[in-house]
Amino acid sequence: MRIIARYVKDLRSHFELLTIYDREVIKEKLSKDNPMIQTLTKSHPSCIWFERKIRDDFGIKVSDSFDNRRLIHQERFPKNIHPMRKDFAQKEMDFSDYIPYKYEAIQGDSVFEVAVGPIHAGIIEPGHFHFSQAGENMLHQEVRHFYKYRAIEKMLEGKSLFEVHPIISRISANESIAYQLALRDIILEASEMTLPDSLKIEHAILLELERIIHHLTDLGFIPNDAGFASALAFCSKLSEESRRVMQTLTQHRFGFDSIGFETLTLDHGYLQDFIAKLQKEITFFEDWIMDIPSLWDRFDGTGILSKEKALKYDCVGVVARASGIAMDRRDTPFYQKYGFKISTQQSGDVAARFKVRLNEVKGSLALIDNLLKAYQPKGMVCKEVLNDGEYFAFVESSLGELFMSIEIKENQIERFFVRDPSFINWQALHLMMPGNIIADFPLINKSCDLSYAGNDL
């Protein structure tokens, strides 16, 4: 079974551990007196971040774990403070003594360490990459994030689902529409309402536009990191034009606060003209980029993630599909009706991840075209009283499978949990490094293009 998430709820009298698989949900009751859970990392290595986060959030120990270091608590975070417990109510905390973070490193003659980040020479969020090197060759890499932990899970407790929309839509800007759709699906289930086809179509169009924007950005930056800046200039132009379309449709470049239950009344002609223009541009780009041997010499065979390792680490999204795993949350009758097909590659390298993105842009453009032909704007009125309960939602964001869980009690959020696709895929990044030189790291990293913000909740 594929593991999706592992997290804990504080039910005041005891803790409840939830392990979410693709085919079942396992719940375990934990006493608050010296609570402990059994690690799942031997069968699911990606559980290590979930389990380290559980330890930081709730003070629950993990039996047989190979890694008991802090995850989201940085070096001077106070000891024995666990903010996700219900009895935590501190407004301020004093720094504790500095506790050094011991990075994984390979020992041996002529082996040395290289630290990259957390502050980078670019407009990106903080993230640390620690390498063990033998000359130029990468032997091992460790990823460390959570420098901008925003306490979103705690922040949303006690609020209604209708007042948290602005926060949820801003968790990760590249996936704003996807996060809003997950919230939408939970509201619909909790209110026992069905979304009319008109709004399904409208929201699907926005999700595919968001995917196009994100993929276009990557299709420019990946060649740029191989020294081909012309691709970045070309795709940046297309990405910016697409963002302006998002601005026109939603009143915001990132589509913040745009997914609701009232129609936006999308302009058919305006969108169809844009889609037709973009289809021509992408056809030109593909013909151009596929005929540059020196570029593909850098892409082919670089940063390989085998299908076996992608499955072992429960990878999702483009990273998984480029390694031959045909998994996409859009593979449903609704999307299939409008021509959706999963795009996969088999080689699991930078070239495969580039090709999957290129094919998905073409697929999203065709989807939008087909969706527009069936679009008839019609809104709905949503109930504001929701049924108590625990609700799950899944959305295929531009990065992959997004999972959201919300427990509602008396019309308020009792527990909010979200697992961005990046939380899974970041943990598989180190598998792509051995056999490559450190100059290939930016190229490999950009070919995955994982979210920092969606990761650092």
pLDDT reading at 310 higher than 80 = yes
pLDDT reading at 136 higher than 80 = yes
What pLDDT does residue 54 have?
A: 98
H or E element at residue 292: none
The reply to whether 132 falls in a domain is no
Per the prediction, the chain carries an average pLDDT of 95
Average pLDDT, integer, range 197-223: 96
| DSSP helix, strand, coil percent of the chain (3-state; round to 5) | 40, 15, 45
Residue 420: which domain range? 160-448
What is each CA distance from 31 to 19, 53, 359, 422, in whole angstroms?
17, 18, 50, 31
What pLDDT does residue 28 have?
A: 97
Amino acid at 456: D
The reply to whether 425 falls in a domain is yes
pLDDT tens digits, 368-417: 999 999 988 877 677 777 899 999 999 999 999 999 999 999 999 999 99
Split into its structural domains, the chain has a count of: 2
Q: Which of 87, 102, 117 is the last residue of a domain?
A: 102
Does 293 share its domain with 432? yes
Q: Which residue has the tokens 């169009």?
A: 205
What pLDDT does residue 123 have?
A: 77
CATH of the domain at 403: 1.10.645.10
What pLDDT does residue 408 have?
A: 97
pLDDT reading at 426 higher than 90 = yes
What pLDDT does residue 117 have?
A: 87
362: phi then psi, degrees, rounded to nearest 5: -65, -40
CA 19, chain centre distance (Å): 19
What pLDDT does residue 17 have?
A: 98
Amino acid at 272: Q
The reply to whether 454 falls in a domain is no
CA 265, chain centre distance (Å): 29
The reply to whether 8 falls in a domain is yes
Closest by Cα among 259, 255, 180 to 210: 255
How many whole angstroms separate alpha carbon 366 and alpha carbon 211?
13
- Alpha-carbon dihedral angle through residues 264, 265, 268, 274, given to the nearest 10 degrees: -20
DSSP state of 169: T
Amino acid at 385: V
Does 296 share its domain with 212? yes
Q: Would you say 82 and 88 are in contact if contact means Cβ atoms under 8 Å apart?
A: yes
CA 404, chain centre distance (Å): 11
C-alpha triplet 391, 395, 399: angle, nearest 5°:
135
pLDDT reading at 121 higher than 80 = no
Q: Which of 102, 118, 149 is the last residue of a domain?
A: 102
What pLDDT does residue 87 have?
A: 92
Q: Would you say 419 and 5 are in contact if contact means Cβ atoms under 8 Å apart?
A: yes
The reply to whether 120 falls in a domain is no
pLDDT tens digits, 213-242: 999 999 999 999 999 999 999 999 999 999
What pLDDT does residue 93 have?
A: 85
The reply to whether 147 falls in a domain is no
What pLDDT does residue 378 have?
A: 79
What secondary structure does DSSP assign to 98-141, as a single string? ----------STTEEEEEE-SS-SSS----EEEEEEETTEEEEE
How much of the chain, in percent, has pLDDT values that exceed 90?
Answer: 87
pLDDT tens digits, 78-92: 988 999 999 998 888
| Coil/strand/helix, residue 293 | helix
Q: Which residue has the tokens 């903080």?
A: 126
Helix residue spans in 9-115 (DSSP H): 47-58
Q: Which residue has the tokens 């949350």?
A: 329
Does 167 share its domain with 91? no
Q: Which of 58, 78, 102 is the last residue of a domain?
A: 102
Does 181 share its domain with 269? yes
More confident residue, 68 or 377: 68
DSSP state of 437: B
pLDDT tens digits, 256-280: 999 988 888 888 889 999 999 999 9
Question: What is the pTM assigned to this prediction?
Answer: 0.96
Closest by Cα among 337, 409, 65, 76 to 54: 65
pLDDT reading at 190 higher than 80 = yes
How many whole angstroms separate alpha carbon 57 and alpha carbon 156?
15
